[in-house]
Chain A
Amino acid sequence: MSALPLDYETLRLIWWALLGTLLIGFAIMGGMDLGIGALLPFVARNDAERRVLLNLSGPTWEGNQVWLVLGGGAIFAAWPAIYAASFSGFYIAMIAILLALILRPVGFKFRSKVDNPTWRSVWDWGLFIGGFVPSLVFGVAVGNLFLGAPFRLDDTLRVSYEGNFFGLLTPFALLAGLVSLSMLLTQGATVIAARTQGPMAERARTYGRWAALATLVLFILGGVVALTMLGGYSISSAIDTGGPSNPLGKTVVITTGGWASNYSAMPWTLAAPALALLGSLLAYVALTARAHVLGILSSSLAILGIIATAGLSLFPFLMPSSIDPASSLTVWDASSSQLTLFIMLGVTLLFLPIILLYTTWVFRVMRGPVTTTSLNRNPNAY
C-alpha cells in the first residue's frame, strides 16, 4: 500500500483526531438536546413550558444525534478492534444507553399526539431518562478507559472479558460520569437560557451556573485523582507506528502518574485542560451576566477541552486492558488497514463540509426564541 499518498502513521493520527472531532461534535450538538432532556422536568414545570423546551430541541435534535451514530460508524470503520472490544465489553451499559436512545425519538414524537396529563408526564420522564442516562454513562465509559477494562485477546485476536456491569461503577468512573453529566447539563442550560424567555430562562440560568461550577470542580478533582492515584499506561517495547494492526507483541508498563507523561513530553497539550477550565469558568460568568451567545460558546469550549484532555492523556492508548496490559488497544495497533483509512478520510473530507453547510442553514432557518405563542403557528409542533 505504499502507493497511497499518506503513510499509515499519519492516517492513524488523522483518524485519532477525527474520532475526537466526531465525539466532540456529538457532545456539543447532541449535548444540547441531552442537557435539555435531563433538565426538562426541572426547568419546565407545566405542559406549556415543557412544550417550549421540546420544540426548542424538536427541529434539530435528530440531526444532532447523527454525530453519535456517525461516531459509532467511524469507530467501526476506522477502529474495528475498539468497536468490537468496547461495545461487547460494556454490554449492559450499552443496553442502558440504547434504552435512552430508543426513548428519545418516540418521546418527542408520541408525547404531543395525545392531550392527556398522565400520557405527557410519562413521556416527559422518558425524555428525562433519555437525556440523563447517556450523559452519565458516556462519562462512566471514558472513566473506565483510564482504569483499563478487564479484557484480553487470544492469538486469533478474539476478545474475552472477565468483568461485569457493576465492575464498571467504580468511584473514579462515577466521578468521570458526573463530569460528563454536569458538562452536558451546562450545555443544555445555556441553550435554554438563550432561546426561551421569562421564568424558564431564569431557572435554566440557575441550574446552568451550578452545573458549570460542578464541571469545573469535578474536572479538577478527576484530574488530581487520575494523576496521583491511578496507574497510567505506556508502551515499553519498540513501536512500529506503521506496522500491521495487531496489538499482541508489545509490552506495556503501568506507573502511577503515567497519564501525565504526554503533558510533560509535549507541554502544548496542556492547552486542552486549560480550555476545559477556562470554558466552564466562562460559562458560569456568561450565565451570570446573561451573555447568551458567550454562554453557549464557552460551554462548547469546555466540552472541547474536557474531551480533548481525555484523548490526549490516554494517547496513544484508546482502550487499555487492566488484566492483560499487553492486549491494550492503541492508535498504532487497533486501526483499519491503510487503504480503508485513506478511503474513509477522502469520503469524510468530501461530506463533512457539506453536512456543516446544510446544518448551519437549518439552524439559521429555525433561529429565534421559542415561545408558547410561536408554537401555535405550526400544525406539526410537539
Chain B
Amino acid sequence: MTDPLVVELSRLQFAATAMYHFLFVPLTLGLSILVATMESVYVMTGRPIWRKAVLFWGTLFGINFAVGVSTGIVMEFQFGMNWSYYSHYVGDVFGAPLAIEGLMAFFLEATFIGLFFFGWDRLRPVAHLTVTWLMALGANFSALWILIANGWMQNPVGATFNPDTMRMEVTDFMAVLFNPVAQAKFVHTVSAGYVTGAVFVLAISAFYLLRGRHVEMAKRSMVVAASFGLAAALSVVVLGDESGYVATEHQKMKIAAMEAMYETEPAPAALTLFAIPGADGRPTYEVKLPYVLGLITTRSIDRDLPGITELTERAAGRIVNGIKAYTALEAIKADRNDAVARAEFAANQADLGYGLLLKKYRPDVENATGEEITLAALDTVPDVWPLFWSFRLMVGIGFFFIAFFALWFWKASRHTLTSSPLLLRIGLWALPLPWLAAEAGWLIAEYGRQPWVVEGVLPTFYAASGLHVWDLIISLAFFVTVYTVLAIVMVWLMLRVVRHGPAEQTALDHPPVPATAFPEPAE
C-alpha cells in the first residue's frame, strides 16, 4: 500500500496540472475553429482585412497553443509517473485511446500548425486555408480521444478483469468507443471550448471598440464571434443536459452529491436552486423547483432519484460481494487451476472494485468487519458541497452566455455593435467566465467521481505509484515554480500582443519579391 500522504500529494499534483492544462485547451479548441472560419472568409472575399484578423488572432492562438503543448505532454507522462498501478490496471483499455490520439490527432495538429505559421509565403491561399482547417480538425480530434479515455473512467464499459494478468482487459472495443458518457462529454466539452474562443475574441474586440482602435477588424471579429458563440452556448447547455441524463444512468452518486440530495427524491424529483449546509453537512434551507430535476436526469416524471443514504446502503451490499470476489481471486492466485474459485470470481467480479475500497482499512480484505464495511461504504460519498456549488456556478455561467451571445448576435445583425459602451464593458469583463465554468465542470467530473479513479472498478488511493514523499515535494515544487513563471510570461506576452494590435502592414501585403531585395540585418 502506498503512503497516504503520497496519494494525497499525487492527487493534488494531478488535479493542479490537469486544471492548469485545461486553461489552454478550450481556447485552442475554439480559437482554432474561429481562425479557420475567418480565413475562409478571407479566401472567399479576398479582402486583406480578414487576413489581418487571421494573423492577429493566430498570434494569440500560437502563444496559447505553445503553453497547451508544454502542459499537455506533462499529462501524458504523469499517468505512468504518479499512477503506475492505475497504468498497469487499466492500461489495456485506457492506453489505446491515448495512442490513437497521437496517431490521429496530435500528428495532424502539430504537423500543420508549423505550416499555418510558416506557410503564408509558400502556399496558395486555398492550400493555406486547407492547412488551417486540418490543424483545427486535429485539435478537435484530440478532444474526442481524450474524452473517450476519460469517459471510460466515468463509465467503464467493454472491459473485464482478468485474474491471470491482474488487470482490466478490453472485451468490446466498440463499446469503449461508443460509450454514451464519452460521446456526451465530447460534444459538451468542445462546445464549451467554442464558447471560450468566442468570448475571447469578443472581449478583446470589445476592448478595441471601447478604445476606438482597429475598429474594422474588431467589428468583423465580433460578428464572427457572436454568431459562433450563440450556437456554441446553446449547444453547451443542451449537451450538458445530455451529460446529466447519461450520468444519472451510470453515476447516480455523483448526481446525488451535486444536488446535496441525502434522501431519495420521490418522483417527480425537484431541482434544488439554492441551499445552505447545516451543522451535519446536510442542506437546511432549500429553494426547490418542482419536477425539473426529474425531467433533466430521468426524462420522466415517474422515476425516483436515489439519495446519498440509499446509495451508501447499496454500496455496502456491493462491498460484501466485492469481498467474495477478492477472496476468490486470492484462491486463484494460490492455485491457477481452481475451477470453483474461478466460477465464484466470475459471479462477483463486477464488485471487485468495491472490495478494494477496504484496502484502506486492512490488507486482508477477506477478514473485514461489519464496521469496516460501513466505513468503506461511507467513503463512496464524494465531497458534497464543492460539487453542489461548482455545478450551480457552471450552469449559471452557461445560461448567462446564451443571453450574452443572443444579445451580441442581435446587435451584430442590427449593426449597433458600438452603440453602448456599457455593453462593450460587459463584453470585456465576461472574459474570465468561460474558464471558471470549464474548471468547475472538470471539478464536478473528476472530484465528483471520488473515491474512484475508475468508477466502481479502482479506488484512487489504490492506484498511486509507490513514490517517496520527497519525490512529490520535488515535483510539486517544480510544477509550482515553472507553471507560475509560464503563466506570468504568457499573460504578459498576450497583453503585449493585444496592446500592440494587428500588424498594420506585413510583407504579405506585397507580391513576392526576390529574396535579395531585402537588406541583411546588421549583426
A66 to B115 Cα, complex, angstroms:
15
Are B88 and A81 touching (Cβ within 8 A)? yes
Q: Closest CB of chain B to A151's CB: distance in Å?
A: 10
Are B169 and A102 touching (Cβ within 8 A)? no
A242 within 8 A of B: no
Residue of B65, B80, B103, B173 ringed by the most chain A CB atoms within 10 A: B80
Q: Could you say which of B89-97, B397-405, B428-436 contacts chain A?
A: B89-97
Residues of chain B within 8 A (CB-CB) of A101 are 70, 73-74
Are A366 and B80 touching (Cβ within 8 A)? no
Residues of chain B within 8 A (CB-CB) of A366 are 114-115, 118-119, 122
> A84: which of B55, B85, B103, B169 is its contact (CB, 8 Å)?
B85
A340 to B73 Cα, complex, angstroms:
23
Q: Chain B, 61-100, contact with A by CB distance < 8 Å: what is the 0/1 string?
A: 0110111011101101101111011011001111110111
Given contacts A91-B475, A378-B118, contact A63 B497 (CB under 8 A): no
Are A59 and B118 touching (Cβ within 8 A)? yes
Q: Closest CB of chain A to B219's CB: distance in Å?
A: 22
Q: Could you say which of B206-214, B279-287, B299-307, B505-513 contacts chain A?
A: B505-513
Q: Could you say which of B158-166, B238-246, B259-267 contacts chain A?
A: B158-166
Are B165 and A108 touching (Cβ within 8 A)? no
A2 within 8 A of B: no
Q: Closest CB of chain B to A307's CB: distance in Å?
A: 19
A66 to B103 Cα, complex, angstroms:
9
Given contacts A92-B474, A159-B466, A379-B507, contact A70 B102 (CB under 8 A): yes
Residues of chain A within 8 A (CB-CB) of B162 are 244, 337
Q: Closest CB of chain B to A374's CB: distance in Å?
A: 6
Total chain A interface residues with beta-carbon distance under 8 A? 82
Q: Closest CB of chain A to B167's CB: distance in Å?
A: 7
Residues of chain B within 8 A (CB-CB) of A113 are 63, 493, 496-497
Given contacts A80-B95, A91-B475, A110-B489, contact A66 B114 (CB under 8 A): no
A344 within 8 A of B: yes
Q: Closest CB of chain A to B115's CB: distance in Å?
A: 6
Q: Chain A, 73-113, contact with B by CB distance < 8 Å: what is the 0/1 string?
A: 11011101101111110011011011101111110111001
Are A77 and B84 touching (Cβ within 8 A)? no
Q: Closest CB of chain A to B326's CB: distance in Å?
A: 11
> A340: which of B76, B112, B170 is its contact (CB, 8 Å)?
B170
B191 within 8 A of A: no
Residues of chain A within 8 A (CB-CB) of B55 are 379-380
Given contacts A69-B106, A109-B66, A355-B107, contact A362 B114 (CB under 8 A): yes
Q: Closest CB of chain B to A23's CB: distance in Å?
A: 14
Are B79 and A246 touching (Cβ within 8 A)? no
Binding site secondary structure of chain B:
helix
A48 to B522 Cα, complex, angstroms:
8
Residues of chain B within 8 A (CB-CB) of A70 are 99, 102-103, 106-107
Residues of chain B within 8 A (CB-CB) of A60 are 111, 114
> A344: which of B77, B99, B108, B466 is its contact (CB, 8 Å)?
B99
Are B88 and A84 touching (Cβ within 8 A)? yes
Are B507 and A77 touching (Cβ within 8 A)? no
A80 to B85 Cα, complex, angstroms:
10
> B87: which of A84, A108, A109, A351 is its contact (CB, 8 Å)?
A84
Are A88 and B103 touching (Cβ within 8 A)? no
> B95: which of A63, A73, A88, A91 is its contact (CB, 8 Å)?
A73
A381 within 8 A of B: yes
B44 within 8 A of A: no
B12 within 8 A of A: no
Are B167 and A157 touching (Cβ within 8 A)? yes
B422 within 8 A of A: no
Are A98 and B96 touching (Cβ within 8 A)? no
Are B466 and A161 touching (Cβ within 8 A)? yes
Are A76 and B87 touching (Cβ within 8 A)? yes
A101 to B478 Cα, complex, angstroms:
13
Q: Closest CB of chain B to A348's CB: distance in Å?
A: 6
Residues of chain B within 8 A (CB-CB) of A108 are 66
B147 within 8 A of A: no
9 A-B pairs closest in CB distance = A80-B91, A87-B80, A77-B95, A76-B95, A63-B111, A73-B99, A70-B102, A109-B66, A59-B118
10 contacts between A and B (CB under 8 A): A66-B107, A73-B100, A84-B80, A109-B65, A113-B496, A158-B88, A336-B169, A337-B169, A340-B96, A362-B115
- A48-B523, A63-B111, A347-B100 provided; 4 other pairs, C-beta below 8 A? A59-B114, A61-B114, A78-B99, A379-B506
A: residues with CB less than 8 A from B are 46, 48-49, 55, 58-63, 65-66, 69-70, 72-74, 76-78, 80-81, 83-88, 91-92, 94-95, 97-99, 101-106, 108-110, 113-114, 155-161, 244-246, 336-337, 339-340, 343-344, 347-348, 351-352, 355, 358-359, 362, 365-366, 371-374, 376-381
